[in-house]
Amino acid sequence: MYLYFLSQGLSFTQVVILEAAYNLTTLLGEVPTGYVSDRFGRRPSLLIGSVLITATLVAIGFADSFLELLVLFVTWSMGYNFRSGSEDAWLYDSLTDLNRSDHFPHVRGRGEALALAIGAGASVIGGYIGGINLAYPFFLAAGVMAIGIVVVFTMPEPKSYRRATPDRLRFRESVNLIKKTIGIRRIRAFVLYYFVLFAAVLYVTSIFLQPVFETAVLELGASQSTVEPLLGWFYAIVSLVSAGLSYHTGRIYETVGVKGWFATVPFLVGTGLVALWFAPVLAIPVLLGARSVVETSRSLAIQHVNIHVGTTGRASVLSAMAMVSSVTVIPFQLGSGVISDVTGPILALSLAGLVLIAGSGALLALSSPLRSDDTVAKISSD
């Protein structure tokens, strides 16, 4: 995607403005779309989101100006707004029907592992097709997403959701539920730790992965014509490593736990990013590691929030978490884009790593973001 934008003459600053517009839309739309899911059903929300994303992917393949892409990124974000929170709420509620809500990390991890494994093959195919025309992968992605629209029609609403009398939920009650959740000190601290800091830095690595990878492989002797295929293979490796981690999310949750994972992984990622300034040759393994922990980190974070929230309002709360993350990432994006245009993306990534290390250390010292309690009372909208 980013090579496609850069090939159309966009600067790094314009690219991050697109991303900022995406996240600003997330900020404005997450809570209302989460309420739609809680009020009218998970399936309608997922259907609207899938249709919007499919149409946007097709349009991006035909776009040829910054302003067109800016409008499309807003639409793209709205599509994911309708899916964000609804997907995980649907899964958690479905597991609740089976009295197996504690299996959420396990099931979500296995599902993400399957998606990532399939994505590995798609990455290789997309790399070669992108070598022909960088717009073609968008059309193929739209075709796959269109299949998802059909799949959504086969997904029943969970019984636990229907029993929760969502027709009585009002928007003000949904907002109050979010406030109650954030009011829990350990959740508020964790939101800062993961959704504000760690997730934002991981997002920045996704923005600059492609140009940094291109620079790295060219310096290693690859020809310009092989960049897209090599990038496809790299994404395939990322997907396979991510799939391996995601497949064992349940085991990680049971053995290492949320505390063990988040007390270690952010510092490893931050140290790797800082090291790029001193040894740019490490870019490929460092970015491989940073991108591979994204889904497992997200699954563990969502489970940590899920156990504090009841069925009614779950999508709204999870959407609010995504909203918080989107707000935080905007200054990261704009600052890193300007720095990259002046000095290159390596410095931007290194500074992001430094912020991650310092911020994580400060939060661990001053608050209790990773504290866990033996007994958890679920918050309801009542």
From residue 17, how far is each of 22, 71, 129 by CA, in Å?
8, 12, 27
- Gyration radius of the chain's alpha carbons: 20
Q: What is the pLDDT of residue 15?
A: 86
Query: Which stretches of the chain drop beneath a pLDDT of 70?
Result: 30-31, 161-162, 164-186, 308-329, 332-333, 371-382
**3-state SS assignment for residue 375:** coil
Taken in order of first residue, the domains within the chain and their CATH numbers are 2-366 (1.20.1250.20)
Q: What is the pLDDT of residue 377?
A: 45
Q: What is the pLDDT of residue 172?
A: 60
Upper half-sphere CA count for residue 308 (Cβ side, 13 Å): 22
**3-state SS assignment for residue 377:** coil
For helices 294-306 and 227-247, the axis angle rounded to 10 degrees is 40
Distance of alpha carbon 9 from alpha carbon 153, whole angstroms: 40
Are 280 and 343 in contact, with CB atoms under 8 Å apart? no
Distance of alpha carbon 88 from alpha carbon 109, whole angstroms: 12
- The amino acid at residue 326 is S
Distance of alpha carbon 368 from alpha carbon 17, whole angstroms: 34
**3-state SS assignment for residue 157:** coil
Q: Please provide the DSSP assignment of 109-155 as one string.
A: HHHHHHHHHHHHHHHHHHHHHHHH-TTHHHHHHHHHHHHHHHHHHT-
Q: What is the pLDDT of residue 41?
A: 77
- Residue 310 burial (CB < 10 Å; 0-12/13-18/19+)? middle
Q: What is the pLDDT of residue 375?
A: 41
